[in-house]
Structure 1
Amino acid sequence: MPLWVQRASNIFFIARLHAQSSYHPSISHGPQPVWFTKIVCLLCFHHSQNLDLLFSSDYFRQHLDPHIAFTVIHHINNNLNNPGLAFRFFQCTRISLNLVHCIGSFNLLLRSLCQMGFHDNAALVFKYMKADGFVLENSILESVVLGLANAGKFEFAKEILMHQAELGREEGSVVRPFVYNSLLSLLMKRRGVDEAVDFFKDYVLRSERLFPDTCSFNTVIRGLCRVGGVDKAFEFFNDMGSFGCFPDIVTYNTLINGLCAVGQVDRAQGLLRNLELQDGLPPDVVTYTSVISGYCKLGRMDEAINMMDEMITYGINPNLVTFNTLINGFGKTRDMFSAIKMYGRMCAVGYHPDVVTFTSLIDGYCRTGELDQGLKLWDEMNSRHLSPNLYTFSVLINALSKENRLNEARELLRQLKLRDDIVPQPFVYNPVLDGFCKAGNLNEANVIAAEMESKGCCHDKITFTILILGHCMKGRMFEATAIFDKMLSLGCVPDDITVSCLTSCLLKAGMAKESYKVRLASSKDLKTDLSSSKQSVPFKTSLDIPVAV
């Protein structure tokens, strides 16, 4: 045995004697003086690369118990802030001394290792915990499972959750629905609705240890409705009763909003009509606003107004979202008289217009050709210290570009460039690019294209098409082919119009070889993208102002 190991054993022996002399019978977990623990931690710290040798003697095998080990792990992890060393101590004593650690060590290590991102080490600790038949405390379980899910380690999180579900009830520790409901939400955000629904069906509903609640079903129904899977959402809605769950107003509001999103407004209204009769749940402002929004999207403004009058009759006051929805609906149908009237009604009941209100009104005036009136509202909004959002910029830039007021549109782009709180999108820049290209001002168009990239706004298919066609019109064929090559290199597949125009211009310029290369390169990309490509549409911007419901 190396000399330093023998000395360590002697120090530990002396410490053990002192610990036994200070033993108090009221302490059920054995003697653990602070200085005694620090000696062991000090040995671990100074000989961290030789822990196997340090704990190889029979003396340590006989005298290092799970409670002392837990105190050491706690000190190394919390006081020395070294979860890696705590794990190595845990693993060494487990392997070299066959020490069965207490549940406190597992709780502490799993939480700290997951927080530090040492997921491989955490997986090994969990493997030992399973072998010893332990389950985590619920507070630790929630931290570990959600921490793993946030780190993208969903399979590991599911494994821990199901182990807890299988053994937790035997230990009197039932998994709270909050844990798997939160995991469901994270799965939907990170992996998509399909995987979250599969987890809910395969793990939660089929488990005899996990018991979904109404929130569980609401999470799944909301996810399905967001991707248009309303019929599938109704299947889960109909199954709620068999699991002892009952729909609440959130369930109904989610389904009604989902139906309206896919244009089934009449079906949504029918669900609203039966809501109070069937389940004794009175509809609220969200319920009515969802149906109003559905009618507005279809342009059925008379029915939208009737729904608003009905909700007021039942004592439900419309909120700002309700008014914004109706103002936006009237603007989309170019009925600015009714939009302004609704705006006045909104102000009369004490609501102050927000950026959505102004954007809806500006959009309406732009649709009716009253652009100057929209610009007046832009100035009024700024005078009220309301910051325009991305859609406000887009509405005005698109309208100014259509009227060939490119310098004014360009000025708005300069203002947008100064805004760090807005992430620009190609549909904001494309109208101005198109205008300058058609006007033959390619230098300014190239400057705008460079500004897009500097703001982290990637060119889309329409951007590339505008630039290619603009350079072709001016006879700048080398620049056009360079833009085309860049388009392909970024995985953006051109449509037939772009390819036809570019190849035709190349042929007219006497560049038959380059034309052939373009045709060949585009044909390969079109074949590989055939299943996912969308039909090309003429350039235009048609915005739906987002109104939260």
Structure 2
Amino acid sequence: MPLWVQRASNILIIARFHGLTSSKSIPSYGPGPGPEAVWFTKVVCLLCFHHSQSLDVFGSDYFRQNLDPHIAFTVIHHINNNLNNPRLAFRFLQCTRINLNLVHCIGSFNLLLRSLSQMGFHDSAMLVFKFMKADGYLLENSILESVVLALANAGKFETAKEILISQAELGRKEGRIVRPFVHNSLLSLLMKRSRVDEAVDFFKHHILRSERLFPDTCTFNTVIRGLCRVGGVDKAFEFFNDMGSFGCFPDTVTYNTLINGLCSVGQVNRARGLLGNLELQDGLSPDVVTYTSVIAGYCKLGRMDEAINLMDEMTTYGISPNLVTFNILINGFGKMGDMFSAIKMYGRMCAVGYPPDVVTFTSLIDGYCRTGELDQGLKLWDEMNTRNLSPNLYTFSVLISALSKENRLNEAQDLLRQLKSRDDIVPQPFVYNPVLDGFCKAGNWSEANVIAAEMESKGCCHDKITFTILILGHCMKGRMLEAMAIFDKMLSLGCVPDDITVSCLTSCLLKAGMVKEAYKVRLTPSKNLNPDLSSSKQSVPFQTSLDIPVAV
């Protein structure tokens, strides 16, 4: 750096410190500083800046006599906030604490803990916490939440839990409790990171079975929601039944979460019973989310009459269906092949003022494709464009799969090109697989290779079905060396073949006289791709279903 640039930079820094000459500009955790303290603070800041590599300058008796916790807080505040250098501020705290035996105020600890944690300097933050703990300070709840979440977001869950538990213990001794929103936030983040078992263990052993942390209804809701998302509905009900023992009572969110969880595992009758219990609760009542969850459960099982009856019941209670409710019913009728009822529900939706969205059109297109009315589905695709509605990944998937099944591969490939031009959609293998399968069965390997290469260029890794399509396609054409090369690549990428792949490849290798290779393939561990497929049926299932989520 040129000397004049360095000098100019120093002048700017000094100018910033010069703003501290007004006592009003200095935040304080004590009595307002006088003029002498203001100028002393300014000198300390300048020395800290110019001697940032070595802070031994603060070891003299002069600083020991004149530096107090309030001035130290002002220095730390200015270096941290104005210079955006929490590490330098931390080194100042560490140096003065060790060399001068200075006991810093709670404000300095709070400020540094928040800044160091949020900026990712977790080791330094933990040292600050240890200093603070040794001095007997208790973190403010807002600072504690910030630190705990910053550590958890960085994957340091054990450290986050350690801080939370130790602060809760210290708070209990001083008659203060950690407010539930702190550990609720940690539980929620654990659930979002799919660390459900860890969250449940923390909930059981450090919240329910100790005097350190106390649950509220939100705590139970967080754990119940996490368990329901992974299918642990029965375990969720155990906690639901224990809520009263801890002075917590379920609210509508609790019921909605459990009802949605039951429906997601096919226990719709049980969900309907829980809905009836909610209707009888004093002070609580089901809302549109409650009813829509059960309606979605009925639709998933194809029990459309019961879904409609429940929708009618909902309206008699003065609860109007929303767009999600209508979309779920339209999707349900479409999956059943009842397009008359689907269109009727679509008209009812528009009549009450809900304009169709991409989910509505995707459900209708999927329904028409299931009933063999592909051209009608393509008309809806065009209507989406006239409404300026952008198709999503599943809209592409439904039409591409349907076109491929009818051997309209060029049209399917045109849609793939449109998908390729969309930067807002990340392609998935199930969109490409039907077209790839169609070209392989047609013996058009040039186009099949183009699609396979295009998948890789878009960062869309081949999945089990992709490899199965390519292997079986080569086998049908007697290209056993190519089939084996793809099989070996599949294994090298850690993709486990299914029973169909192993059985068909082994059979073709034996017919080609490649006994050793067939024996090698037969010994390969496999996993059944679909229990409904037999070894003689060489078709491959594709994902084209549309599940409409219900928010709880």
User: TM-score by structure 1 length?
Assistant: 0.89
Residue 43 (str. 1) matches residue 44 (str. 2): no
2:103 maps to 100
1:539 maps to 540
User: Which is further off, 157-166 or 130-139?
Assistant: 157-166
Q: Over residues 394-418 of structure 1, what are the superposed CA-to-partner deviations in whole Å (9 max), with x where a residue is unaligned? A: 1111111111111111111111111
Shift of 1:504: 4.5
Residue 128 (str. 1) matches residue 145 (str. 2): no
In 2, the alpha carbon distance for the partners of 1:57 and 1:318 equals: 74
Match for 2:354: what amino acid? Answer: Y
Shift of 1:393: 0.9
Aligned residue among 407, 411, 418 for 1:408: 411
Residue 440 (str. 1) matches residue 443 (str. 2): yes
2:281 counterpart SS class: helix
Q: Over residues 67-125 of structure 1, what are the superposed CA-to-partner deviations in whole Å (9 max), with x where a residue is unaligned? A: 22222222221222211111112112222222222111111111111111110111111
User: CA contact under 8 A between 1:106 and 1:129: conserved in structure 2?
Assistant: yes
User: CA contact under 8 A between 1:272 and 1:287: conserved in structure 2?
Assistant: yes
1:50 counterpart SS class: coil
Match for 1:44: what amino acid? Answer: C
In 2, the alpha carbon distance for the partners of 1:387 and 1:522 equals: 46
Residue 210 (str. 1) matches residue 213 (str. 2): yes
Residue 238 (str. 1) matches residue 261 (str. 2): no
In 1, the alpha carbon distance for the partners of 2:148 and 2:117 equals: 9
Shift of 1:246: 1.1
Change (3 A) 1:96 1:191: farther
Change (3 A) 1:372 1:533: closer
Q: Over residues 365-396 of structure 1, what are the superposed CA-to-partner deviations in whole Å (9 max), with x where a residue is unaligned? A: 11111111111111111111111111111111
2:520 maps to 520
User: CA contact under 8 A between 2:138 and 2:167: conserved in structure 1?
Assistant: yes
Shift of 1:151: 1.7
User: CA contact under 8 A between 2:206 and 2:212: conserved in structure 1?
Assistant: no
1:75 maps to 78
User: CA contact under 8 A between 2:110 and 2:143: conserved in structure 1?
Assistant: yes
Residue 85 (str. 1) matches residue 88 (str. 2): yes
Match for 1:224: what amino acid? Answer: L
Match for 2:274: what amino acid? Answer: L
Change (3 A) 1:325 1:41: same
User: CA contact under 8 A between 1:111 and 1:143: conserved in structure 2?
Assistant: yes
Shift of 1:43: 1.9
Residue 452 (str. 1) matches residue 455 (str. 2): yes
Matches for 1:263-302 after TM superposition, within 5 Å? 263-302=266-305
Shift of 1:238: 0.8
Q: Over residues 488-533 of structure 1, what are the superposed CA-to-partner deviations in whole Å (9 max), with x where a residue is unaligned? A: 12111223432343345445556556x26xx53773x52xx77x99
Shift of 1:30: 5.6
Residue 178 (str. 1) matches residue 190 (str. 2): no
Residue 314 (str. 1) matches residue 317 (str. 2): yes
User: CA contact under 8 A between 1:138 and 1:173: conserved in structure 2?
Assistant: no
In 2, the alpha carbon distance for the partners of 1:155 and 1:65 equals: 35
User: CA contact under 8 A between 1:493 and 1:522: conserved in structure 2?
Assistant: no
2:11 maps to none
State the Cα RMSD in Å.
Answer: 2.4
Matches for 1:184-223 after TM superposition, within 5 Å? 184-223=187-226
2:54 counterpart SS class: helix
2:95 counterpart SS class: helix
Match for 2:498: what amino acid? Answer: D
Shift of 1:269: 1.0
User: CA contact under 8 A between 2:190 and 2:199: conserved in structure 1?
Assistant: yes
Residue 466 (str. 1) matches residue 469 (str. 2): yes
Shift of 1:291: 1.1
Aligned residue among 109, 112, 117 for 2:115: 112
Shift of 1:34: 3.6
Q: Over residues 268-326 of structure 1, what are the superposed CA-to-partner deviations in whole Å (9 max), with x where a residue is unaligned? A: 11111121223442221111111111111111111111111111122211111111111
In 2, the alpha carbon distance for the partners of 1:434 and 1:243 equals: 57
User: CA contact under 8 A between 1:442 and 1:470: conserved in structure 2?
Assistant: no
Residue 255 (str. 1) matches residue 258 (str. 2): yes
Aligned residue among 157, 161, 178 for 2:160: 157
2:58 maps to 55
Match for 1:388: what amino acid? Answer: P
In 1, the alpha carbon distance for the partners of 2:68 and 2:145 equals: 28
Residue 167 (str. 1) matches residue 170 (str. 2): yes
User: Which is further off, 388-397 or 28-37?
Assistant: 28-37
Change (3 A) 1:536 1:314: closer
User: CA contact under 8 A between 2:64 and 2:100: conserved in structure 1?
Assistant: yes
In 2, the alpha carbon distance for the partners of 1:210 and 1:533 equals: 46
Q: Over residues 13-52 of structure 1, what are the superposed CA-to-partner deviations in whole Å (9 max), with x where a residue is unaligned? A: xxxxx99xxxxxxx7366564432232222222222322x
Change (3 A) 1:473 1:89: same
User: TM-score by structure 2 length?
Assistant: 0.88
Match for 2:472: what amino acid? Answer: L
1:49 counterpart SS class: coil
User: CA contact under 8 A between 1:297 and 1:329: conserved in structure 2?
Assistant: yes
Match for 2:542: what amino acid? Answer: T
Change (3 A) 1:412 1:44: same
What are structure 1's unaligned runs of at least 5 residues?
Answer: 1-17, 20-26
1:10 maps to none
User: CA contact under 8 A between 1:494 and 1:522: conserved in structure 2?
Assistant: no
Matches for 1:385-396 after TM superposition, within 5 Å? 385-396=388-399
Q: Over residues 249-283 of structure 1, what are the superposed CA-to-partner deviations in whole Å (9 max), with x where a residue is unaligned? A: 11111111111111111111111112122344222
2:26 maps to none
Shift of 1:176: 2.2
Shift of 1:473: 2.9
1:494 counterpart SS class: coil
Match for 1:39: what amino acid? Answer: V
User: CA contact under 8 A between 1:426 and 1:457: conserved in structure 2?
Assistant: yes
Change (3 A) 1:46 1:536: farther
User: CA contact under 8 A between 2:506 and 2:521: conserved in structure 1?
Assistant: no
1:428 maps to 431
Shift of 1:360: 0.9
User: CA contact under 8 A between 1:113 and 1:121: conserved in structure 2?
Assistant: yes
